[in-house]
Structure 1
Amino acid sequence: MTIDLTALGWDAARAAAVRRGQRPGRVARVDRGVCTVLCAEGPVRASLGGAVLAAAARDLTSLPCAGDWVLLGTWPDGPVTVEKVLPRRTALVRRTAGRDASGQVLAANLDAVAVVEPVHPEPDVARMERLLSLVHASGARPLVVLSKADLAADAAAVARQLARVAPGVPVLPVSAEGGAGLDPLRAEVVPGRTLGLLGISGAGKSSLVNALAGAVVMPTQAIRRVDGKGRHTTTWRALVPIPGGGAVLDTPGVRAVGLLDGADGLDRAFADVTALASTCRFTDCGHAVEPGCAVRAALESGELTARRWESWRKLQRELTVESRRREARLAAERRGGWRRGRRHSARP
């Protein structure tokens, strides 16, 4: 089995980093520190090399993840190791559940990311806004896919309604079951490009992968009829090459996604709110009691809904808290390094 790496996004800029004895590949999945890497001669299983482990000790986000381009080394006795993770052009990063304000890279080197939101029982607008903020911050092009569109009486009307809270983002009603609406998604999966799928369990992400691949490559399960929710069918992140070129990266259903450092992503996801705030009389307007507040005027006129405003405020507060936590953690690390340096210098 051979793999055309250029169809997966390999190019001259990345090739310049290859050194003698190394071979390139793209990470398809990671299982407890062992990577499945797509190389020119086929899939290879590789453990983590010393340089990669040392980098991870300083920053866990440097660990290889699905979508990464890596350089492999082969030892004389046979084992294959990941010796280097090449610089990421885009990275989908969420905050971890702990209190240390660290991040987890969900996927890397995605050209576009589709937020998959099922139309049944009804789309969760606040969740969609949160995920779009994450995608905007990643550097990838955001899309919204309204999955299971065949279950809606008028999926096009739902798409038009959601487009109002997704400024500049295509909102695509799609039915993986019947194939309706798949063509705009297929346009995102062409040689050299990778489409990521992000959404809750039961949203239909794996069904979309199968539809785009033209074969059953990801397992699927039926959702519960009572609430439209699903179980975790995909429990790992998987990069799936598509016949004809390109790839789709499926992610497990996300229950919670915390924003880590995405002020720019939040501004872009809420471009309408940002534009209003920029026209307030005072640049430091708190949008509470200040005269000439364009946000308050838009709320009073109905141009801006209270629901969207509160959604923006909630995410803004979350980013502020995480920024303070991160600054505190970095300050603690600097103090720890200074103390270690003092101890070493005090030794005879």
Structure 2
Amino acid sequence: MFHTSFHASSSSDAQHPLAAYGWDAGWEAEFAPYAAQGLLPGRVIRVDRGQCYVATAGGVVRADTAFVTPHDPLRVICTGDWAAVDPEGVSDPRYVRACLPRRTAFARSTSSQRSEGQILAANVDHAVITVSLAVELDLGRIERFLALAWESGAQPTVVLSKADLVPDPVGLSYLVEDVETVAPGVQVVPLSSTTGEGLDVLSAVVAGGTTVLLGVSGAGKSTLANALVGADVMDVQAARDVDGKGRHTTTTRNLFVLPGGGVLIDTPGLRGVGLWDAETGVGQVFSEIEELAAECRFHDCAHESEPGCAVAAAIEDGSLPVRRLESYRKLLRENQRIVAKTDARLRTEILKDWKRKGAEGRRALAMKRGQVR
């Protein structure tokens, strides 16, 4: 089901009919060469099996994606893209002829052995990470989502959904504080779609630009999408009480115009949250560790047993949780492996480093045994 009505952010009659979808002077300049060819601009609101639905000035049209299916999975057309579409009557079916360069893109690695990247949403300004309070908080998973969000170029916000299941205000405040400790620079919003708590706060966040909803299955994204759009645009299914999980209510990525301004992209629940070349995003999530690392005596400090290690000192005095450092290391290692699989030069450097450390380890062991002086 598509939410296709236009909600202009200005009462001016001269406003472009695609302004509600995020069209601006920048996109118009990018589109100029295609306009000269007689093509129409539009925003992709859904992609489905070689076809896509594009919101144009004349309404939503269905178009074939045969001309925008590159070999690179990160460059295939995606919900949120701005596209150049055939005008009516030129061809049957109508085709998307090109996509405009993306300003931002939210990508993750797939669960396949090929470790390919997967684009989830394009031209996103805000990433709302939805976390259900019906189950125990998984801070590590939140850190993963945050790393991907920061890397995409979007501003993340964490929504703690189903807040009505935590009736104790003190207990809820503690949960918010727990998330804030792993989300520096990120707004954390407790929200209940049932009672409406927090909905006004989130509505203000998403009122400008394009927002993508992210989270695992059962986190309450579809219910939240309905609340923000103000209509039952997404089917909702109950999650299991035991683990908060449910069937994937959302199976495609859909784009909706919000009545208060802004655009919303809902995504299917993600079973896996694999990093994809997200070193900068990881650094942003763990900014306090990187700030400490800058104070270490050695610039290549591994934060293990080196003298003058500011990170180790923070662990020792309790100002940095051990879990936080372990999570940082885990995500960095994972990201390095992903990048190495697609970057032969980096892979070679990593192998050389492993060999060097292995040789140093063997030499240290030999010296310990008195075999080398």
Query: Aligned residue for 2:334?
Result: 318
Q: Secondary structure at the match of 2:86?
A: strand
Partner amino acid, structure 1, of 2:195 = G
Listed as ranges, the gaps of 5+ residues in structure 1 are 332-348
1:194-213 correspondence runs (5 A) = 194-213=210-229
1:167-182 correspondence runs (5 A) = 167-182=184-199
The answer to whether the 8 A contact 2:340-2:346 is kept is no
Of 66, 70, 74 in structure 1, the residue corresponding to residue 79 of structure 2 is: 66
The answer to whether the 8 A contact 1:188-1:194 is kept is no
Partner amino acid, structure 2, of 1:236 = T
Q: Secondary structure at the match of 2:108?
A: strand
| CA drift at 1:257 | 1.5
Q: Which moved more, 1:77-86 or 1:292-301?
A: 77-86
Partner amino acid, structure 2, of 1:29 = R
Matched, 1:255 2:259: no
Matched, 1:89 2:103: yes
Q: Distance in 2 between matches of 1:86 and 1:117?
A: 32
Query: Aligned residue for 2:53?
Result: 36
Q: Distance in 1 between matches of 2:65 and 2:91?
A: 16
Q: TM-score, with normalisation over the residues of structure 1?
A: 0.90
| CA drift at 1:247 | 1.3
1:125-164 correspondence runs (5 A) = 125-152=139-166, 153-154=168-169, 155-164=172-181
Of 113, 127, 131 in structure 2, the residue corresponding to residue 113 of structure 1 is: 127
Query: Aligned residue for 1:337?
Result: none
Spell out, residue by residue over 1:90-121, the C-alpha distance to the aligned partner (whole angstroms, 9 max, x if none).
10010122344431110011110011111122
Q: Secondary structure at the match of 1:105?
A: strand
The answer to whether the 8 A contact 1:240-1:248 is kept is yes
Bigger radius of gyration: 2
The answer to whether the 8 A contact 2:5-2:257 is kept is no
Aligned residues: 327
Q: Secondary structure at the match of 2:242?
A: coil
Query: Aligned residue for 1:343?
Result: none
Q: Secondary structure at the match of 1:80?
A: coil
Q: Distance in 1 between matches of 2:136 and 2:311?
A: 28
Q: Which moved more, 1:164-173 or 1:223-232?
A: 223-232
Q: TM-score, with normalisation over the residues of structure 2?
A: 0.84
Q: Distance in 2 between matches of 1:99 and 1:223?
A: 30
Query: Aligned residue for 1:232?
Result: 248
| CA drift at 1:163 | 0.4
| CA drift at 1:2 | 6.1
1:259-278 correspondence runs (5 A) = 259-278=275-294
The answer to whether the 8 A contact 1:2-1:40 is kept is no
Matched, 1:298 2:314: yes
Q: Distance in 2 between matches of 1:166 and 1:10?
A: 31
Matched, 1:12 2:34: no
Query: Aligned residue for 2:92?
Result: 78
Q: Distance in 2 between matches of 1:132 and 1:2?
A: 32
The answer to whether the 8 A contact 2:109-2:276 is kept is yes
Q: Secondary structure at the match of 2:206?
A: coil
Q: Distance in 1 between matches of 2:54 and 2:91?
A: 19
* 1:120 to 1:77, Cα distance in 2 relative to 1, 3 A: closer
| CA drift at 1:289 | 1.3
RMSD of equivalent CA atoms: 1.9
Q: Distance in 1 between matches of 2:115 and 2:156?
A: 25
Spell out, residue by residue over 1:242-283, the C-alpha distance to the aligned partner (whole angstroms, 9 max, x if none).
124311111100010111111110000111111111111110
Spell out, residue by residue over 1:113-162, the C-alpha distance to the aligned partner (whole angstroms, 9 max, x if none).
01111112222110000000000000000110000011113323311221
Q: Distance in 1 between matches of 2:269 and 2:299?
A: 40
* 1:99 to 1:167, Cα distance in 2 relative to 1, 3 A: same
| CA drift at 1:40 | 1.3
The answer to whether the 8 A contact 1:135-1:265 is kept is yes
Of 81, 98, 102 in structure 1, the residue corresponding to residue 112 of structure 2 is: 98
Q: Which moved more, 1:139-148 or 1:317-326?
A: 317-326
